[in-house]
């Protein structure tokens, strides 16, 4: 972030302090060390966003490889049949594409917004537990790398650096046993994910997902406490911006749904490592139990992906329609209802497993019921636009694209909720079309809209509007529709998902080629978008400098100066209503945001930075990677048997993580005080007058 | 500290509160010990199964609620914490019950389940029969 | 701002001015709220585990070709488990007293009570270790040979791990109380650890009837 001058000035004044365990607190570093030890919610948000975009691009490349493989059908008679990737690699590609996009792209990108925007929106100076927030970030990074480092080992295997006999499988399944990258799809159903049918890729997947679960739960607990407990004066619950409300609902969903997959993964891990029988038919285990446990998590998970998007849209539409959000309380309420109902519909992913008439009917009805609050939201957004003075900025185009595309995805969702129809659609490209409409057309468009909207606040630069309106938006929205709309037809005609090829004689090649073209258009859109972002941040003079309130926005995060000082608000704002910044700008004189009175001259308490969350993350990464590798029958690299090494490595990793937590507990919270001398205007500070003192 | 005076003002009340809690805790602990004993006895009673089930569930819920309410201070704290905890219970219990109802004895033929550590051979056969 | 307030382990920035670190919007301490939210999450965690066990008990009422597989009542010792339950309940009682003592600033009473909790926790773990040893070595139930073994060991083992983490936490706290840095301001830390401990106790209050007592109903007369 370009907070250089003021931030440096503050940093120079922070006293050098020793923590209770005798180390210097890393408060005074610049550059890399500052970012590695940061506890500032804004920097953590930026880091989440950067990692998420990296994995978004990675997952996108995997998707392009999938689409390239499906460019031509398979003619068994022809000797030179099209094979861009092998069937095995294809399995790994769609597995990692799904896992990456869900857990490493959309969720952390949402987390980036939660981190950056939510504390600003409630008028707080940071989250409730800054170091826990850093812990969540680094644990997420550890999980993400555990998942993706498997690709490197897969490459080592193909390059001949690694012994091919990594696992003892059934002979004709040897190839799948060499899945070092996960290949059991993002749902990981046993018996495909069992020891007999998949290689150590599944262990990477298990460990990665476990870590991501820890990270998500820790972050969500933090957000829940922050939103309930850290609001500035006057910020009642029913004055919270909708994005913050959706953060709260999403956090509850994460906290209550992730335990189910944690247990499922533990059971699967026990099946694979210790020979238990949870999902192993030989011992009487029921693979269908995995499906239940997975979808008890998995269905709330899809709302975890979309609710932040719904929140962002509810911020963007009113701003660019210059109207208050239509029906604020009902939008909040329907968000909460969607979240609650999300726990009661998991079995609609399993209609074809013969649940029995009553269960099927119940889950079918509950699924249809979810359309009601979702529809309410859609109508409220339309109501917001109605008679508004709409400005079609790039953010607004994406937001409107979201409403339309998300609705399309919702409509095919209602089709799935009818169990008989679902029997035809299940496991087909119709399902792919549906959830890409709600995930790309829904979550991703909303997040991109959010990026266009908040980028000026985060980096102090405007993204290129002309490029956004004329190139990025048409390419992304058009490309997505071109890719996924034909899939409805493909699916209803019977093309199966998770299959690396199709027969030429099925006459579906043309539609597949259109899908592939669409995918590449979409990719070009993302490419321009990402390049514009990178250049705006990195290259001086590429982008215009942003004013502090470029959109004439409504919520209080826009009342801060840009770049936002490390303490967010020099004085905490006293909030007078919904859309507090808007009524402060244009409302009655008594609706102006006031500065909350300070008690005494203690200054602003700032948290100290810490190395230990990073140490925990590193420990987790080591543990996850080594534990996954230790499940290989023979982990031999470059001729050395490393079985003992990785076993020790996983123990050391766990030890480091525990050590990190202990040191974190022992070092004490620390902190220092910043003294800022106010000028008259709210939020403005004169840096020359600022000073920092130690808290002790 | 800014609220030091405030704190000392409340100190006597605070101490009295904590002392009152002591007796509550002792009574509760004794009560729970008795309830645990009753549970053990209930299992041996020659009553109808449904009745014994009801008794056991009832007694367990009482113990659960007792610990939550007094030992975990919910009754002394703001209601919000109760709501927070109930959000977990309200999701977890119906989910568990629904799961239990979704599985039927008739789904499986218990006699056909082999025991002992699984070998790989049966797995391979299964696979081959479904190409 | 005195060093006093900062020496509290309130890890965070709270609304209001920099002076009043403990002020929150709702008046509930951040740590306490975090712990309750975590416990709500843990309800789902144990709910899922217990469901797994009960589902397999439901669909395989008597699965197993060994004696114990057919009838878990031959496996369980109701006396031992009841004793464990009692021990855990009493540890909860002592924990509540320990928290109360800390709120009063009575460090000695806190140490006494928490030491009691630790000892009771260790007794519980001892009972469980004995139980596992007996089941595995004498009665021949293992993780691998029976679905009942899988679910039973993983469920009770996970609970045991929670107890062990709790004991570790309390031991750390007990040791830390001798450093001189531990004051009445840490009452909230003790209370949070206490909440965790009580939760581990109530999970056992569910496991005890749902896993053990259930097997005996209608089989003893």
The pLDDT of residue B81: 95
CA distance C72 to chain A (A): 17
The CA distance from A218 to A386, in Å, is 40
* pLDDT at position A355 over 70: yes
The CA distance from C141 to C158, in Å, is 17
Cβ contact A106:A439 at 8 Å = yes
How many CB pairs (< 8 A) connect B and C? 177
Neighbours of chain C (3+ CB pairs under 8 A): A, B
Pair of tokens at residue A483: 């890719």
Q: Which of C10, C33, C34 shows the shortest C-beta gap to A669?
A: C10
Confidence band for A103, pLDDT divided at 50, 70 and 90: very high
The pLDDT of residue A173: 54
DSSP code per residue over A284-321: T--HHHHHHHHHHHHHHHHHHHHHHHHHHHHHHHHHHH
The pLDDT of residue B48: 86
Neighbours of chain B (3+ CB pairs under 8 A): A, C
CA distance C108 to chain B (A): 16
The alpha-carbon radius of gyration of chain B (Å, integer) is: 26
Q: Which of C20, C52, C147 shows the shortest C-beta gap to A599?
A: C20
Strands (E), A528-603: 573-574, 594-595
| Residues of A with Cβ-Cβ distance to B113 under 8 angstroms | 282-284
Tell me whether residues A129 and C28 touch, CB distance under 8 A: no
Task: Kindly report the pTM of this predicted structure.
Answer: 0.92
Lowest mean pLDDT among A374-378, A460-464, C217-221: C217-221
The CA distance from C221 to C216, in Å, is 10
Neighbouring residues of C153: CB distance < 8 A, sequence distance ≥ 6: A276, C132, C135, C141, C142, C143
The Cα angle at residue A408 between residues A405 and A411, in degrees rounded to 5: 150
Cβ contact A70:A94 at 8 Å = no
The per-residue pLDDT for range B31-90, each reduced to its tens digit, is: 999 998 998 888 888 888 889 989 999 999 999 999 999 999 998 999 999 999 999 999
* pLDDT at position C210 over 60: yes
Residue A159 class from Cβ within 10 Å (0-12 exposed, 13-18 middle, 19+ buried)?
exposed
Torsion-angle region of C140 (φ positive above 0: left; ψ -120 to 50: alpha; else: beta): left
Phi, psi (deg, nearest 5) at residue A685: -135, 155
The CA distance from A70 to A512, in Å, is 7
Confidence band for B124, pLDDT divided at 50, 70 and 90: very low
* pLDDT at position A413 over 50: yes
- Give, to the nearest 10 degrees, the angle between helix A287-321 and helix A357-385: 10
Q: Which of A281, A292, A344 shows the shortest C-beta gap to B99?
A: A292
Q: Which of A280, A292, A356 shows the shortest C-beta gap to B118?
A: A280
Tell me whether residues A233 and C34 touch, CB distance under 8 A: no
The pLDDT of residue B1: 38
Neighbouring residues of A213: CB distance < 8 A, sequence distance ≥ 6: A258, A261, A262, A265
Phi, psi (deg, nearest 5) at residue A693: -130, 160
Q: Which of B88, B108, B122 shows the shortest C-beta gap to A256?
A: B88
The CA distance from A646 to A182, in Å, is 19
Lowest mean pLDDT among A443-452, C14-23, C91-100: C14-23
Tell me whether residues B118 and A347 touch, CB distance under 8 A: no
Cα end-to-end span (Å), chain B: 75
Query: A44 vs A130, A133, A222, CA distance in Å?
Result: 10, 8, 13
The per-residue pLDDT for range A26-37, each reduced to its tens digit, is: 888 888 999 999
Q: Residue ranges of the alpha helices (H) in A165-286?
A: 174-177, 201-229, 242-274
Report the run of H or E that residue A667 belongs to, with start and end: helix A643-667
Cβ contact A435:A467 at 8 Å = no
The per-residue pLDDT for range C173-191, each reduced to its tens digit, is: 999 999 888 888 888 999 9
Over residues A353-382, the mean pLDDT reads 94
Phi, psi (deg, nearest 5) at residue A143: -60, -40
Cα end-to-end span (Å), chain C: 69
The CA distance from A652 to A647, in Å, is 9
Confidence band for C65, pLDDT divided at 50, 70 and 90: low
The per-residue pLDDT for range C99-143, each reduced to its tens digit, is: 999 998 899 999 999 999 999 999 999 999 999 999 999 888 888
| Residues of C with Cβ-Cβ distance to B2 under 8 angstroms | 19-20
More confidently predicted of A333 and A170:
A333
The pLDDT of residue A601: 66
Residues shown for chain B: 131
The pLDDT of residue A599: 66
Instruction: Say which DSSP state A676 is in.
Output: -
Pair of tokens at residue A290: 């995995």
Residue B27: strand, helix, or coil: helix
Confidence band for B95, pLDDT divided at 50, 70 and 90: very high
The pLDDT of residue B129: 35
Lowest mean pLDDT among A275-279, A455-459, C72-76: C72-76
Q: Which of C82, C103, C202 shows the shortest C-beta gap to B18?
A: C103
Q: Which of B29, B60, B116 shows the shortest C-beta gap to C209?
A: B60
3-state helix, strand, coil in chain A (%, to 5): 65, 5, 30
The pLDDT of residue B127: 37
Tell me whether residues B78 and C27 touch, CB distance under 8 A: yes
Which of A242-256, A354-368, A556-570, B113-127 ranks highest by mean pLDDT? A242-256
Instruction: Say which DSSP state A543 is in.
Output: S
The CA distance from C10 to C32, in Å, is 11
Q: Residue ranges of the alpha helices (H) in chain C?
A: 3-7, 30-59, 67-70, 78-104, 107-133, 147-176, 187-207, 214-216
Residue A42 class from Cβ within 10 Å (0-12 exposed, 13-18 middle, 19+ buried)?
buried
The pLDDT of residue C140: 83
The CA distance from A571 to A40, in Å, is 18
Q: Average model confidence (pLDDT) for chain B?
A: 78
Lowest mean pLDDT among A162-171, A516-525, B8-17: A162-171
The CA distance from A343 to B94, in Å, is 10
Tell me whether residues A286 and B108 touch, CB distance under 8 A: yes
The CA distance from C67 to C125, in Å, is 27
* pLDDT at position A677 over 70: no
**Chain A interface residues (partner B, CB cutoff 8 A):** 168-173, 191, 194, 196-197, 228, 252, 256, 260, 275, 277, 280-284, 286, 289, 292, 296, 343-344, 347, 355-356, 359, 599-600
Residue A494: strand, helix, or coil: coil
The CA distance from C46 to C40, in Å, is 10
The CA distance from A573 to A594, in Å, is 6
Q: Which residue of C has its CA nearest to A290?
A: C52
Cα dihedral angle (B72, B73, B75, B80), rounded to 10 degrees? Answer: -90
The per-residue pLDDT for range A494-532, each reduced to its tens digit, is: 999 999 999 888 889 999 999 999 999 999 999 999 999
CA distance A648 to chain C (A): 21
Tell me whether residues A292 and B87 touch, CB distance under 8 A: no
The CA distance from C31 to C19, in Å, is 19
The pLDDT of residue A170: 52
Reported as half-sphere exposure (CB side, CA atoms, 13 A), residue A318 has a value of 23
Confidence band for A168, pLDDT divided at 50, 70 and 90: low
Chain A 131-190, residues with CB within 8 Å of chain C CB atoms = 131-132
Tell me whether residues B120 and A296 touch, CB distance under 8 A: no
More confidently predicted of C22 and A229:
A229
The CA distance from A329 to A336, in Å, is 11
Q: Average model confidence (pLDDT) for chain A?
A: 90
Chain A 564-623, residues with CB within 8 Å of chain C CB atoms = 572, 596-600, 602-607
Cβ contact A621:A598 at 8 Å = no
Query: A211 vs A45, A223, A527, A619, B62, CA distance in Å?
Result: 19, 18, 29, 11, 36
With CA atoms as reference, report the closest residue to A119 among A665, A608, A569, A659.
A569
Which residues does residue A674 pair with via DSSP β-bridges, in sequence order? A604, A692
The pLDDT of residue C70: 66
The per-residue pLDDT for range A139-160, each reduced to its tens digit, is: 999 999 999 999 999 999 888 8
The per-residue pLDDT for range A286-325, each reduced to its tens digit, is: 999 999 999 999 999 999 999 999 999 999 999 999 999 9
Over residues A631-656, the mean pLDDT reads 89
The pLDDT of residue C67: 56
């Amino acid at each position: 972030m370009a907070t250089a001058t003021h931030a440096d000035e503050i940093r120079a004044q922070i006293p050098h302090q020793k923590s209770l365990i005798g180390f210097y607190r890393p408060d005074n570093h610049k550059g890399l060390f500052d970012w590695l030890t940061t506890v500032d919610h804004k920097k953590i948000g930026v880091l989440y966003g950067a990692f998420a975009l990296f994995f978004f691009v990675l997952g996108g490349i995997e998707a392009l490889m999938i689409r390239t493989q499906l460019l031509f059908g398979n003619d068994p008679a022809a000797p030179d049949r099209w094979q861009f990737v092998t069937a095995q690699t294809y399995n790994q590609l769609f597995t990692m594409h799904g896992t990456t996009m869900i857990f490493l792209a959309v969720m952390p990108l949402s987390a980036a917004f939660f981190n950056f925007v939510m504390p600003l929106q409630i008028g707080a100076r940071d989250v409730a537990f800054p170091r826990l927030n850093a812990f969540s970030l680094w644990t997420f990074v550890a999980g993400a790398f555990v998942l993706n480092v498997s690709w490197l080992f897969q490459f080592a295997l193909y390059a001949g650096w690694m012994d091919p006999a990594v696992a003892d499988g059934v002979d004709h399944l040897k190839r799948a046993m060499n899945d070092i990258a996960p290949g059991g799809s993002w749902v990981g159903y046993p018996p495909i994910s069992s020891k007999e049918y998949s290689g150590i890729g599944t262990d990477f997947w298990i460990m990665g997902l476990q870590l991501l679960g820890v990270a998500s739960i820790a972050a969500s607990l933090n957000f829940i406490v922050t939103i309930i407990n850290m609001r500035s004066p006057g910020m009642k619950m029913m004055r919270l911006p909708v994005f913050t409300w959706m953060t709260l609902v999403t956090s509850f969903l994460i906290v209550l749904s992730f335990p189910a997959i944690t247990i499922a993964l533990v059971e699967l891990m026990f099946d694979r490592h210790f020979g238990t029988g949870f999902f192993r038919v030989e011992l009487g285990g029921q693979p269908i139990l995995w499906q239940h446990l997975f979808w008890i998590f998995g269905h709330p998970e899809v709302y975890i992906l979309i609710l932040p998007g719904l929140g962002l849209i509810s911020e963007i539409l009113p701003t660019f329609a210059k109207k208050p959000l239509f029906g604020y309380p009902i939008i909040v309420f329907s968000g909460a209802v969607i979240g609650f109902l999300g726990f009661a519909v998991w079995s609609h992913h399993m209609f074809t497993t013969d649940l029995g008439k009553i269960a099927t009917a119940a889950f079918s009805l509950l699924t249809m019921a979810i359309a009601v609050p979702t529809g309410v939201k859609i109508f409220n957004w339309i109501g917001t636009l109605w008679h508004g003075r709409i400005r079609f900025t790039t953010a607004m185009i994406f937001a409107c694209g979201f409403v339309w595309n998300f609705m399309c995805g919702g409509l095919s969702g209602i089709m799935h909720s009818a169990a008989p129809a679902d029997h035809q659609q299940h496991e087909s490209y119709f399902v792919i079309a549906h959830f890409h409409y709600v995930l790309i057309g829904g979550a991703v468009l909303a997040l991109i809209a959010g990026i266009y909207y908040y980028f000026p606040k985060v980096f102090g630069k405007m993204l290129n509007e002309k490029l956004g309106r004329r190139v990025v938006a048409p390419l992304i929205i058009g490309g997505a529709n071109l890719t996924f709309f034909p899939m409805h037809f493909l699916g209803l005609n019977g093309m199966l998902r998770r299959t690396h090829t199709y027969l030429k004689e099925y006459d579906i090649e043309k539609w597949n080629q259109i899908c592939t073209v669409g995918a590449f258009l979409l990719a070009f859109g993302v490419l321009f978008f990402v390049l514009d972002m990178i250049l705006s941040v990195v290259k001086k003079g590429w982008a215009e400098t942003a004013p502090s309130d470029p959109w004439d926005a409504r919520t209080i995060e826009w009342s801060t100066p840009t770049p936002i000082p490390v303490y967010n608000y020099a004085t905490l704002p006293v909030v007078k209503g919904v859309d507090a910044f808007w009524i402060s700008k244009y409302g009655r004189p008594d609706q102006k945001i006031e500065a909350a009175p300070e008690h005494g001259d203690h200054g602003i308490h700032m948290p100290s930075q810490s190395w230990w969350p990073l140490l925990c993350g590193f420990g987790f990464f080591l543990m996850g990677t080594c534990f996954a590798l230790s499940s290989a029958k023979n982990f031999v690299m470059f001729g050395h048997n490393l079985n003992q090494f990785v076993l020790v490595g996983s123990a050391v990793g766990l030890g480091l993580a525990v050590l990190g937590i202990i040191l974190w507990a022992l070092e004490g919270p620390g902190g220092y005080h910043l003294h800022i001398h106010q000028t008259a205007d709210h939020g403005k500070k004169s840096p020359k007058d600022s000073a920092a003192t130690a808290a002790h | 500290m800014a609220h030091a005076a405030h704190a000392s003002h409340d100190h006597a009340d605070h101490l009295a509160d904590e002392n009152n809690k002591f007796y509550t805790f002792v009574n509760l602990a004794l009560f729970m010990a008795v309830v645990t004993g009753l549970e053990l006895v209930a299992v041996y009673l020659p009553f109808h199964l449904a009745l014994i089930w009801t008794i056991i569930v009832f007694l367990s819920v009482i113990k659960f609620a007792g610990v939550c309410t007094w030992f975990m201070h919910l009754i002394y704290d703001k209601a919000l914490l109760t709501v927070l905890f109930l959000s977990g219970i309200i999701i977890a219990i119906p989910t568990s019950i629904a799961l239990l109802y979704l599985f039927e004895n008739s789904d499986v033929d218990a006699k056909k389940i082999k025991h002992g550590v699984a070998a790989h051979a049966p797995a391979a056969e299964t696979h081959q029969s479904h190409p | 701002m005195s060093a006093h307030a900062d020496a509290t382990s309130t890890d965070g920035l709270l609304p209001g001015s920099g002076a009043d670190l403990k002020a929150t919007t709702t008046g509930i301490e951040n740590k306490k709220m975090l712990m309750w939210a975590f416990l709500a999450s843990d309800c789902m965690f144990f709910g899922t585990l217990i469901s797994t066990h009960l589902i397999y008990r439901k669909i395989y009422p008597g699965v197993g070709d060994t004696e114990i597989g057919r009838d878990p009542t031959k496996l369980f010792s109701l006396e031992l488990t009841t004793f464990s339950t009692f021990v855990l309940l009493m540890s909860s009682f002592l924990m509540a007293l320990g928290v109360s003592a800390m709120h009063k600033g009575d460090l000695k009473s806190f140490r006494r009570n928490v030491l009691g909790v630790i000892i009771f926790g260790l007794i519980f773990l001892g009972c469980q270790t004995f139980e596992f040893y007996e089941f595995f070595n004498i009665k021949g139930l293992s993780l691998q040979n029976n679905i009942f073994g899988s679910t039973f060991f993983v469920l009770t083992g996970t609970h045991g791990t929670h107890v062990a983490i709790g004991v570790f936490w309390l031991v750390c706290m007990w040791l830390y109380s001798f450093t001189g840095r531990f004051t009445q301001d840490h009452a909230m830390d003790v209370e949070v650890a206490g909440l965790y401990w009580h939760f581990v106790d109530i999970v056992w209050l569910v496991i005890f009837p749902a896993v053990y007592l259930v097997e005996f109903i209608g089989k003893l007369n």
